Chain A
Amino acid sequence: DTGVSQDPRHKITKRGQNVTFRCDPISEHNRLYWYRQTLGQGPEFLTYFQNEAQLEKSRLLSDRFSAERPKGSFSTLEIQRTEQGDSAMYLCASAKGATNEKLFFGSGTQLSVL
């Protein structure tokens, strides 16, 4: 069990640039989640994949955000035309089974938009 891996750990970008984050879940986990956490808040749900299918997206996920999980393995989260309000910790989590299984989180990608 190598855990959930996220890359990069930190990203600094200028407003208006595009950024892409990668998440490698635990190998046998079929479910993958993206969350966003800002200072003083708990993680907020962004989107969820079961295998390669994106089954749910939060209202928080504007048109500038897109996530993929090709072949049901790793996932990418892209933010286009970044804004200062996008600055946050982006967390990936994975889980196996159907429901009520605990989520395993990665260490996150800290995004700073200047």
Chain B
Amino acid sequence: NAGVMQNPRHLVRRRGQEARLRCSPMKGHSHVYWYRQLPEEGLKFMVYLQKENIIDESGMPKERFSAEFPKEGPSILRIQQVVRGDSAAYFCASSPEQGGAFFGQGTRLTVV
């Protein structure tokens, strides 16, 4: 049973470009979460999704950021027109119905 898979591991984008981060949850897990970690800080919740539904996006900036978890395929976190302040590690976690969360290895986004 493969763990949570995130790709790419590292992503470099120039200011103004788009970043797409992918997450495939563990088999049998129906919940996906995205968290952001700035250097020397803890993880901050961004968005919580189930298949084809956004359950809670209270931690996600209203502009430039969007997330989806389609019926088929991985969950995608999309950041449009990236700025230097978007540079961070983005972690995806998946969870079974009964709770707990298992994390992927993260995507480190660097905006230059």
Q: Do A and B bind each other?
A: no
